[in-house]
């Protein structure tokens, strides 16, 4: 199987590798409490974004776009821009019951958005070889959430000191900062929001 991979596919795997590393870094931070581990995990997401941007360019440059590459790209994006940001948010202190639900919603929106893109890409291209616009925000926009978390972590606002604190709603805690993930997920699955693709 590996022999059948194109050059662009290796960039896509680099994306997935970075996302997986970010998840492990978040877990290590929760285990050891060393802030450097958390910051390394957050730094891997911009690197994943670079790999994600390069894989499409390399595929077009070599004229080797494929269905396998598109599916591989979506799976890598789920890890790096869906699961990893949620894991990093959890590591930063969004660990209440309502936080779990919101972060799970965010990941589900990301998965749904990528599945919709894969199914509708050809119709959105209008017979061409490139999609003209995105329906909903692309999942890599979650990089902005990770940058915000990195700033908070760098300034020491993690755990009990997380920005905006926590609210007790019924049986569970809610950290208001997690609502940014709810907004991001909702924008990803919007059908009316159309963003021109560069």
**CATH architecture of structural domain 2-196:** Up-down Bundle (1.20)
- What is the pTM assigned to this prediction? 0.88
Taking the domains of the chain in order of start, what are their residue ranges?
A: 2-196
Over the chain (198 residues), the average pLDDT of each successive run of 10 is: 66 92 97 96 96 76 64 90 98 96 97 86 58 81 96 95 94 96 95 76
Per-residue pLDDT at 135: 81
Distance CA 48, CA 29 (A): 20
Per-residue pLDDT at 46: 97
Per-residue pLDDT at 72: 85
Per-residue pLDDT at 122: 59
Per-residue pLDDT at 10: 77
Token pair, residue 151, equals 């700033």
Per-residue pLDDT at 131: 65
DSSP 104-118: HHHHHHHHHHHHHHH
Token pair, residue 37, equals 């581990």
Per-residue pLDDT at 54: 86
Per-residue pLDDT at 92: 97
């Amino acid at each position: 199987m590996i022999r059948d991979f194109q050059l662009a596919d290796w960039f896509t795997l680099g994306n997935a590798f970075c996302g997986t590393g970010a998840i492990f870094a978040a877990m290590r931070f929760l285990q050891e409490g060393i802030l450097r581990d958390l910051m390394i995990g957050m730094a891997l997401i911009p690197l994943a974004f670079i790999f994600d941007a390069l894989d499409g360019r390399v595929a077009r440059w070599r004229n080797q776009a494929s269905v396998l590459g598109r599916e591989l790209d979506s799976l890598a994006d789920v890890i790096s821009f869906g699961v990893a940001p949620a894991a990093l948010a959890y590591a930063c202190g969004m660990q209440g019951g309502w936080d779990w639900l919101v972060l799970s919603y965010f990941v589900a929106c990301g998965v749904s958005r990528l599945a919709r893109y894969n199914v509708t890409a050809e119709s959105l291209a209008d017979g061409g070889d490139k999609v003209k616009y995105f329906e909903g925000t692309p999942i890599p926009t979650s990089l902005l959430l990770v940058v915000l978390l990195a700033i908070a972590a760098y300034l020491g606002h993690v755990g009990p000191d997380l920005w905006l604190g926590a609210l007790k709603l019924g049986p569970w805690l809610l950290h208001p900062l997690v609502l940014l993930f709810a907004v991001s997920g909702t924008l990803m699955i919007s059908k009316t929001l159309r963003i021109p693709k560069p």
